[in-house]
Structure 1
Amino acid sequence: MFAKSFRVKSNSAIKGSDRRKLRADIQAAFSLSADQLSRLIPNKEDLNVMKMYLHKGEAVTVYVLNKNPIFFEMDKRFYPTVYALWTCPDLLASFTTWPAVLPKLVGGADLMLPGVILPPTGLPEVLQGDLCAITLVDNRAPVAIGLASMSTAEMLEAGMKGKGITTLHTYLDQLWAFGEKTHPPVIAAEHSYSEETGDQEEEKEEVEEEVNVEAAGVENVAAMLPSAEGDAPDLNSLSLNVEPEPEPVASPTEQDSNSELEASENVHLTEISKDADSQQDAAEIARTTQEQMDEILLQCFLHALKRKVKKADLPLLASTFLKNHMYPCCLKSFVIAETATDDEVVKIDRETEIFYQPPEISSFYSVSSRLLPLFEHAGLKKDATLSSVDVRNIITSYVKSNELIDACNKNYVIVNPTLCDCILEKCEHHTVTKLKWDDLFARCLERLQECHQVSFPGQKPIIRKGCIKHIIIDVAQRASNKKVTLIKNLEVYGIDPQAIGNALQLKAQASVTLSLIPGTKDKIVVQVQGNQVNHVAKLLTEEYSIPSKYIQGLNKAPKSGKKRR
């Protein structure tokens, strides 16, 4: 989850009431003792709450104690960080693995069962979806947390094959780096693995062979792993220009053997020299490549300032510079005379934007307890869902089956006791004996619970009570008589507020800010400088294909007309 960088939306000190609520939630989630709870969430230490968005868009709440994140909350579930587990190492059931597996976990891989070490007392008892910790051999300080992919019994039945734990957070990831970047303490393990069995030795060798290539590329992780015996000698300490000492004259047989030995030693020294030269060449190539990239970046920047960027566009966002000026130069081999055209820039924008498909929205009604007697004859129960056509058909069938059509005027329906209790108000019980068909249908729909369903392609439909919330576009006035455009409820339609903000920043050439709506956890309001209702409406209706009936505030666009001279 935290293998890549995240974006912090807010970071503020927690209130006293929120601190007490957090303590109660953590106590309920992990069944802590009073001493453990006071160590994890002390009453008088600095505690902050931070809202962030991960690289895939997930909204996460993080609680930070003295600059170290200790818990994060996602989908109303709390997860401890490695900083918290170093304070209470026995907080979660733990699985042990080899140190060579750690680089894979840091890179975002899950813990596979072949890499899990079986302790003498057996694996801890967990169920599928339980929160677990991951430790290394001979140290109980956890280095990662995750969710069990299967129960303990299923792990053993599978012969310890397949995925064991879905990794969520690890030591050395971006969440750990947000803290003080301390390293795991050394906590003595309950069981020593210094004398492995033959099977464990073979398993360890297989695991280390699998992760050897990836571990070699993770320098900051490899530094903490134990070095193997017989490391290569320091190249800097080798000297190839040593004056040979005089040797006694040997016999012809000894001379032949000595010649062969010297030849082999010369070959060995030559190979070492070549390795040293290749390493120096690689370092020189890397340095040269970095210098070339710096020169290209500076050239793009200067070209943008001279040819395209206006004074009014400054200061220029790095993301805008990358999208509008770096990408077009990548189309050609960056020759200033052959700059990218506007059509090519638009093509790049379309290729880099996230593909969006609008949801299917349907309205229906659910049977309320008051109208249940009226729908029971159709075999329906409370909260059964119906369309407006279904409601009309069921009411019509009920009226006809009970012969409630007025014989004198078929436009009226006779109100029987069931209709009286379900449809009429108390003051109408003794006065209203007949209703028109349209009035009957209208009263039924008013007393049913209105619902709506939102179906995104490839996802399970979402059913909510009430009418669907409209996308609200509002124009507010700020200081110095400046206007701003506010956009809310984009998340209801699966639209990323950040993507909308980036698009409006380019189309309207105006500054855009995103902020959390007060009193909510994951609702974002997009604020654009100026009255940009026309740009917003065109973006939502044309590019995102949102019907205008689901957008509120389109009438607040600036009036088009001739300006006064």
Structure 2
Amino acid sequence: MFKNEFRIKSSVSIKGAEQKKLKATICKYFNLSNETLDTFLNQKQLTQLKVITHTNDIVKINCAQNVAIVFEFKNKFYPTLFMVWSFPHIFPRLKLDNDGKSQLKSASELTIKELRSNDANNEHILSSLPVDQCVSLCTISCQKIIAIGYLTIDGNSIKDSEKSRDKCLKVLHYYDDELFKSHIKSSIPDVIYTMEREFNDAPELNDKKMYSEDIQTVVNKMDELLMTCSLKALKYSIKKQMLPILASTFYKKYVMSFCPEGTELDIKKTSYKKLTSFLQLLDKEQMIKLNVSSNGIVEITQVIQSNSKLQDLNSDDNPALKENLDQFSPPVKEIYVVTPGLYPIFSEFLCRKGDKLTVPSIRKYVTEYIKKYQLQDSTNPSVVNTNNVLKKILSQRKDNTFISIKDLIEEITKLMYRTEIAVFNVETTETKKSLKKKINHIEMTVNNRSGNKKVTLVNNLELYGIDIIKFSKECQHGVAASTTINDIPNEQNRQVQIQGSQVPFVYKLLTDQYKIPVKFLRGYENHIKKK
């Protein structure tokens, strides 16, 4: 991965909550105690580099005082050589002979033949290793760890395979690659020299029993996590109207959503290995009814809510779960499409023509572009001195030699194609429905009825996924006035009618509780003008 030079995209300091989160992740992935990690870091300044490799992979490298310690690739964390030299036993170690060692610089993957050395150590360690297991590689002659990688085939398959030329191990980081040279050896040359001299006295490899126990612990924890998330999904997410539901949809959309933040749920790391095997267990324990068709399609046809395990689940025992169930997520977001005219800016951040970006992403990329080419005015940092690319984009302006950062972001946003996506919270459908076009705003109007009585009318609520019955009750209790739900001819969405002039209350309810952006509301500004 770091065989060739990589480009640093950004560098930021890690402080406060982010630093605590990173430390907790390192302790979890590498089985270290908080005290051990704190002693190792010794209050060093932590930074995160976002780099782009020669294969266009984006990797996050976490450094302590400019020394790389761990890197994140495809949402998984791996140690650098400096980290694994400091803690040799955080991952299983496999031995390489001289032929395998010579392949590290020329190939990014090792074959089964290269991993099968004459040393008996590899045989008993491989038997307990699953696929995707991170391993370190050392030489037969000494305990010097020379590479970090992960298995692409499980250990038993490597032992039993007759195809010795098949690839089985992906090498991510090795001794003397660009990461080691630029962010380890060059930063602490004296420390590295001392550590290399001590490798001959390094402790022996862990025995088979220890690794087997570690792997079994991981499997048990993953089994428990899968069962917990599945039970919550069955009780709180799957409604009767949604059945039958595909097994794959149930797992990806509902089970995974209950996985705690920072925890990875992987069905392959459980004892079941396959989702069908796990669902058959739930069927046997009478939690669900499973149907497997003749062409192999697996569906859940019924959820048996009377099962004791489902009955024992209680959201009150888990405040985070209860909050998650009650929380209303805003269903509308704006997406902008990268146009050919703006490609020179966004191509700097690996965006292509037609890619969809949110407003925060546009703001972030434009700001990074300004900093990269040092376009900020020295006397006024809020002003940008335009280069040739920006002048071409701003050709319609009379004076395009300078512009404020805020106006520049607005101008770029105006030049992009906009699409508003609304997500409907309809329980009768299996998946959420998306509408890629402009949608009507929520309208709040005050009308006069007979006897000069005023009523507030709210339209298009259901278009934004709002439960109209629940909303009318909240208005009724909030303003102590009667509410009515009206069916409007030739309209798909119903109307809520509230007695009295209640626009300010409705506005506050929609923005505070339902998190509807103000730009999708109409009628409140008219109420202000009347005042």
Task: Specify the structure having the higher radius of gyration (Cα).
Answer: 1
Could you tell me the TM-score, scaled by structure 2's length?
Answer: 0.40
What's the TM-score, normalizing by structure 1?
0.38
